[in-house]
Structure 1
Amino acid sequence: MDVKSARILIIEDDEDDYILTQDQLEKLDRYRFEIDWVTNLEDALRQLERNVHEICLLDYRLGAYTGIDVLEKAQALGSHVPIIMLTGQSDEDLDRLALKAGAADFLVKGDITNARFTRAIRYAISRAEIEKARQQSLDAEIESRSKDRFIAHLSHELRTPLTSILGYTELLLNGDKARDATKELSTILNNGQHLLSLLNDILDLSKIAAGKLQLKPAYVKLNSFVGDILTLMQMPASEKGLSLQFYSSARAPESIYADPTRLRQVIINLLFNAIKFTDFGEVALWVDYDPAEPEKIRFKVSDTGIGIAESEIDVIFIPFQQLEDVTLKKEQGAGLGLAIATELVRRMEGEISVKSKLGEGSEFTVSLKLPEQLRSTLKPLDVKVSDTKPIDCFAQLAGKILIVDDLLDIRQLVGEMCRSFGLEVCFAADGSQALMAISEPDNDFDLVVMDIHMPVMDGRKAIVEVRNQGFNKPVLALTAANMKGVDIELTSLGFDNVIGKPIDRNVLYQSIAAYLSTSETELEVQSANQTQADNEEQASVLVVEDDADAAELIVLLLESLGTKAEVANSCKQCLNRIAQSNKFSHILLDKNLPDGNGLNLATEIHQLQENSDLIIISGEEVSDQELTDNGIKSALLKPISLQQLQNLFA
């Protein structure tokens, strides 16, 4: 028989009654009680306020006070201890009054020797246990929310200085001011980007621990998916003089079903680790499909590096366990990447494993389930690797912009970037200053870049006031908050686009260029190199995508094909761009935009412009019927690759 422990408070000023009650409690063999006894109101309230007892037995008469007085005063102090009222004689009116005042039960002292007393005690203890469990659950929820707020705040506080570090370093590397310090600046940039990746890892690990990591599975074309990864990894491999190879089974499925962003994160992490711990030889990515095991597809990353000791293999997937580089005798990294990769693969219902031999190399294998409907079409993979380069030179823009941020170094950083784009720049330190600047008749701003978190008046309040004043020019939000739904919230308040911190110079340029035209000087230079007729014949594409990184990548890929491209980040921006110009031969529409659906947007576009080919880009399959119903030519499945775009414009 299980014996329950409970702590009981007895409030009784008659010692004989206290001893009688104590004796009866000791006879309840299913319970072991720890008893506290008080005889006056002050001590009673002091004990009840502590909320450390499972039950309280309260005498109705306590000196000059009644039990009702004690109940009311205890509740006012925040006590939630169940109280059983004891009285010398039966009184139905008193019984109802006690229960109405909050008593758990009402007993006559003469009943403490019978079964009713036992039932009352048992009930009160059960009620206390339920309340305790509820309170613990509530406390855990409060703690979880506090942790989430702390991590969100930490993310903001770390991203803000990283914005200055990375942004100014890129400005110096791309300018003429520090040509003799290129090596040192590159070191700063690389380490700053490493800090940013560690921050992202910590946030991912926190989401995993809190059960808030959301996967977005989709059908993924293997050719383009693998090609994009190999394109990205060429540079880090070549910087170490390593050969980056790709191998595949003779035949493989055209598509898999997984979260493309997270699977890409896993494979890139494995490739980065392989490159980091390999000094000569090769790093290879394999796509392995065996028809004898049709339910699985495997991605393998192998290297000819230092290998892993047998004693370390069991711990490398544990968070914060770093692998020691035996050649340098030091630990590298934070030990988060493999732990996150393991959890991501597990969430995708897959497995990750490793084989390694010290001094010879390692092989990591990610096995994923392959749905039956994807096993029928097997053919050799045709993976093409693109030679993509970052944009270093920007077509000069024309216009006057206002930069609003409470941090001086961020204001100056964004200002320097914008001046390098050819823009006239003004500054404000908070939302109220921005309102005054915008209201000045001489300040005819073409665009505003505004931080969200500022003293005096923050960006959220400021954008509402700005729009109420009638300012209808573009306003872009700057924020270090990358939580889900932030973009939708800010655009609903009146912002036209959202730029994340740390600020990427290319993203900032693309975001501003979507609204401002190039300067007359730049247009003259362009016309000297190319006739107006050539410009009219060249295909022009509008990319409607709210994810700045995805939009930038698509533009870069299109430009590498010799195709002009512009960006809109919402349905509203798309319609505005089309109203300003009907020159777009193709319009790529993201299916899920912050202010609408790409399929529905297609109908509105047809009303403004009939001759454009509309293409949906989506992370999920779009049916032929949906395309036909909305007048859409075709659909591209994310991630968008160069091969997909080449096929589109072939």
Structure 2
Amino acid sequence: MKSVRRLAWLLLGLCLATTLSAREMLVLEADTPAQHPERYTYLSFDPGRTKTIDDILAQDEDQWQLNHRDFIHLGFSTDNIWARISLKVGDPDEPVWIINLADPLKDEIDLYIVSDGKVQETFHARANQSFDMRVSPHRHFLFPVNLSQYQEADIYIRMNFRQHIILPLEIMPRSEFLKMDQQSSFVIALCTGALLVMSVYNLFIFLSTRNLSYLFYVGTVLNAGMYFICMNGYGFQYLWPNAPDWNNAAPLVFGSGVAIFGNLFTFHFLGLRRHTLSHYWMVALLVGSSTGMIAAFLGEYVLSNTINSITGLICWITFASLGLKSCWEGNRYAIYFSIAWLLPFISWTLLNLGFIGIVPLSLNLLYVSYGAFIVQTILNSLALVERIKVIEAEKQQVLADNRAKMNFLAKMSHELRTPMNGILGMAELLTGEVKDPRARNYAEVIKSSASTLLTIINDILDYSKIEAGKMALENIPFDLREVIDHCLNIQSIQSRNKNIVLYADIAPDIPASVYGDPTRIGQILLNLTSNAAKFTEQGHVGIRVVYEDAEQNLIQISVEDSGVGIEPSEQLGLFDAFHQTSASVNRTHGGTGLGLNITRQLAELMGGHISVSSTPGKGSTFNVTLNLTSAAPAPTKIDVIPRPVVLLIEENKQLGSVIHQQNKIWPFDIAWVNSVDEALMYLQSNAQFRPDLICFNRESALSYQTTMETIQSLVPLKTEFLALEDTTHAGVVSRRKTALDFISVRKPLCIQDYPRLFIKAMNNDLSTTKILSPEVPATEPAGNRLNVLVVEDNAVNQMVIKGLLNKLHHKATITENGQEAVKVFTAQQDEFDIILMDCEMPVMDGFTATRHIRQWEEDNHCEPIPIVALTAHILPEQQQSCFDAGMDELLTKPVEIERLKSTLNRNTDRFQRLRSIRV
């Protein structure tokens, strides 16, 4: 029995000896590079996380498992993991060996050096400790140990991780480690520097171009760079050494940032449309990536890592797929983009397959994933560069198309405005010649219709100029009241068949003259008043001018009407091009839909803005705020002693209130009542009231004839009665001999007509069939009569210009082309005071003719004669060509008599100087 027992103990001893001798041992030699002990590593799991080093040393050998792979990866686990590495020191002369745990993002690490069954040295490292508490001040977990004193030793490592359990171990001599660390630091610094340079470069491009693709590209690169820095431990070492919690979350946060900014970069770079399947898919990925970032901030590292891994893979393949789709659609720059996102997709796919054990996992895969980010950054930068080239080529093509379009518009402008000059000019001449009221009305209708057509042409051309950025603005002193008066005069003609009261209410503190662009402000007013009158069948259309902020020179010009109003839902796109409030508007009122858009853009070009307030069924108010600096103080009140007294009977409360307020400016004392009955009551209750003039609406007074006769008996005999009646002949005056003797003036009238009308009526200076608007003087002093050389090839325009000059009592000499004009001028130079030069003519155009004339004047030492361009061109570059050729001024067709007169008057000094030189 004893022999059997001895045999059993002998067999057990042999087994133990075999087991101990079979333990894998790593032999350390000083002349060998870094040792990777993964295949010599035994692993043991502690699910309860309660075992100490003594428990581990005492546990049976069968609880250890040898790792057979080149890389230790255990996925996610909440267990304590124990690793054991048996070492045999082959070179005792190398004193210090470095145990390098190359993953800087571990939670808890305890390292024990065991020899002869006893713990000889102990090291501890915790993720929740600041950087300065590490065993060695290095980005990795380093454990320097003196192994030369042991022939054999076991290294025990206890690990507790909240992220992927990866154990990249290296054991090497200290001298070898320093050499390798310098090399790796250089490579990492080089890669990080490249990312930083790319970020700064593209950030400057964004600041100069304001293209969001560059901004989101910079965000993607910076997040990738920070992720790269975090994963290599430099963030904790240099950037946040006292924030260990942030150090744990940072890689996950920046990883999510790569996906988020990559998403935004893809959307803008590829120009994806909103509200499409691609758009919604990208939004879903954006939400997923943001969720991963939020989870990291909350400390849910396992959840964040899982979300990032899934959304990252989906993002990369989505971005690459969308890039390939863009390539298929013809965007060649998208090929770089697609390859750029395929690289991280491939590397991350291999890395995640390694994490779950499908493919072998090694450090090389990690390095490949880092390299993929670098290459991706370069490729995306190349994609942006290529995109710049494509955009620049497209821009040049657009510019070429715009030039062709603008040239076409310039040609069309010339071709359209030239016959319009004939129509408007002949209508102007006909209006002055015809005595019959009906024929005069026909001429006015022709003129008004032609003006409307010209407005439409101008709207189209102005819209094109604004869109092309070629709208030039003036900044000259002008009288805002004159601009408003001119606008209302035009509108009164166009609204003569409607029962509309036109008025202007200008605050007394508004300057007499302001700096700005009178032409464009007049255009704004015409657009708004025309629009208001179009949608107002009866009631009023008014212009109100007040200071919005006097200190800032902000003047608010409001155009208000009592028309149909605008529904709130239809106000949203009111100022968009070609927008009309409903489909029925175009059928009922017509129009191009450009007027309000042009008005908005003109206001914005002048540094102002426009808004609208409207109540359906009650009317609308359009408010334009402009910065108009004062050029002259506000007009003062005119003091006339004694001040004439006017009794105004006006049923329209809006108009009556505005006229009554003009007491502050006009040289009258105005009493205002709403009806004939109120007028009678007012006179009966104010016996001392003695009006010099009673102004009333004839249509309203017809049914109150007895009352009007009673009123006549209550006022002095000298009191004049002025009746305003609605007819189709605006401004025509006649005296009615009835029981009530009164002067009849036909409406509509502008508010500015009233003071002149009141004065003329009280002075009995209103003659029959006279128009109230200013007339050209019937005679001109002989000394002011000019000899004008007109260069015009169009026969109709020749008639118009000659007729207008004759009306102004000037002599016109007509030539049909530039060559003939040069010949006539050089032969009879002393006979002409000014040249009106058309630009587009056969044989020789106006530009060439002007150059010939200027050269002849220089050669003969003559004083330059004023040359005014008669041009249908309205584009700035065409107009500049006139000045470059040597012309002095521009008159755009159609030529209006007032503008022609102003142009001639501006050159009076030059005419006199020329005549004195010739004498």
TM-score (norm 2): 0.39
- Kept in 2: contact 1:323–1:331 (CA 8 A): no
Q: State whether structure 2 residue 873 is matched by structure 1 residue 481.
A: yes
**In the TM superposition, what are the counterparts of 1:271-350 in structure 2 within 5 Å?**
271-288=529-546, 298-322=556-580, 330-350=588-608
In structure 2, C-alpha distance between the alignment counterparts of 1:251 and 1:418, rounded to whole Å? 40
- The equivalent of 1:500 in structure 2 is 892
- Kept in 2: contact 1:432–1:462 (CA 8 A): yes
Equivalent in 439, 451, 455 of residue 842 of structure 2: 455
- Residue type of the alignment partner of 1:172: L
- Residue type of the alignment partner of 1:574: D
* C-alpha deviation, 1:478, in angstroms: 1.7
Equivalent in 494, 502, 507 of residue 244 of structure 1: 502
- The equivalent of 1:574 in structure 2 is 909
Q: State whether structure 2 residue 799 is matched by structure 1 residue 464.
A: no
Q: Which runs of 5+ in 2 are unaligned?
A: 1-258, 271-316, 325-329, 336-370, 638-660, 667-751, 757-772
- Residue type of the alignment partner of 1:567: N
* C-alpha deviation, 1:195, in angstroms: 1.3
- The equivalent of 2:356 in structure 1 is none
- Kept in 2: contact 1:173–1:179 (CA 8 A): no
In structure 2, C-alpha distance between the alignment counterparts of 1:280 and 1:459, rounded to whole Å? 49
- The equivalent of 2:421 in structure 1 is 163
Q: State whether structure 2 residue 774 is matched by structure 1 residue 389.
A: yes
Q: Deviations over 1:266-314 (max 9, x none)?
A: 2343223223332332223333557899996533322222333444333
Q: Which region of structure 1 is more displaced relative to structure 2, 316-325 or 498-507?
A: 316-325
- Kept in 1: contact 2:866–2:910 (CA 8 A): no
* C-alpha deviation, 1:339, in angstroms: 1.4
**In the TM superposition, what are the counterparts of 1:523-534 in structure 2 within 5 Å?**
none
Bigger CA radius of gyration: 2
Distance 1:325 1:287, change over 3 A: farther
In structure 2, C-alpha distance between the alignment counterparts of 1:483 and 1:504, rounded to whole Å? 19
Equivalent in 800, 806, 811 of residue 413 of structure 1: 800
In structure 2, C-alpha distance between the alignment counterparts of 1:492 and 1:192, rounded to whole Å? 32
- Residue type of the alignment partner of 2:909: C
- Residue type of the alignment partner of 2:873: A
Q: State whether structure 2 residue 581 is matched by structure 1 residue 189.
A: no
- The equivalent of 2:431 in structure 1 is 173
SS of alignment partner, residue 356 of structure 1: strand
- Kept in 2: contact 1:162–1:502 (CA 8 A): yes
* C-alpha deviation, 1:175, in angstroms: 2.5
Q: Which region of structure 1 is more displaced relative to structure 2, 138-147 or 237-246?
A: 237-246
* C-alpha deviation, 1:193, in angstroms: 0.8
- The equivalent of 1:524 in structure 2 is none
Instruction: Report the RMSD for the aligned CA atoms in angstroms.
Output: 5.4
- Kept in 1: contact 2:850–2:886 (CA 8 A): yes
Which one has the bigger helix percentage?
A: 2
Distance 1:239 1:458, change over 3 A: same
In structure 1, C-alpha distance between the alignment counterparts of 2:412 and 2:803, rounded to whole Å? 27
- Kept in 1: contact 2:580–2:586 (CA 8 A): no
In structure 1, C-alpha distance between the alignment counterparts of 2:896 and 2:390, rounded to whole Å? 50
Distance 1:394 1:482, change over 3 A: farther
Q: Deviations over 1:341-366 (max 9, x none)?
A: 22223344444332333333222223
* C-alpha deviation, 1:191, in angstroms: 1.0
* C-alpha deviation, 1:150, in angstroms: 2.2
* C-alpha deviation, 1:121, in angstroms: 9.1
SS of alignment partner, residue 621 of structure 2: strand
- The equivalent of 1:362 in structure 2 is 620
- Residue type of the alignment partner of 1:275: A
Distance 1:446 1:361, change over 3 A: closer
Distance 1:309 1:404, change over 3 A: same
**In the TM superposition, what are the counterparts of 1:89-238 in structure 2 within 5 Å?**
128-175=386-433, 181-216=439-474
In structure 2, C-alpha distance between the alignment counterparts of 1:475 and 1:370, rounded to whole Å? 32
Q: Which region of structure 1 is more displaced relative to structure 2, 231-240 or 153-162?
A: 231-240
- Kept in 2: contact 1:351–1:367 (CA 8 A): yes
In structure 2, C-alpha distance between the alignment counterparts of 1:211 and 1:462, rounded to whole Å? 31
- The equivalent of 1:490 in structure 2 is 882
Q: Which region of structure 1 is more displaced relative to structure 2, 300-309 or 127-136?
A: 127-136
Q: Which runs of 5+ in 1 are unaligned?
A: 7-28, 35-50, 57-113, 511-550, 553-565, 583-650
- The equivalent of 2:528 in structure 1 is 270
- Kept in 2: contact 1:437–1:443 (CA 8 A): no
In structure 2, C-alpha distance between the alignment counterparts of 1:460 and 1:423, rounded to whole Å? 25
- Residue type of the alignment partner of 1:335: G
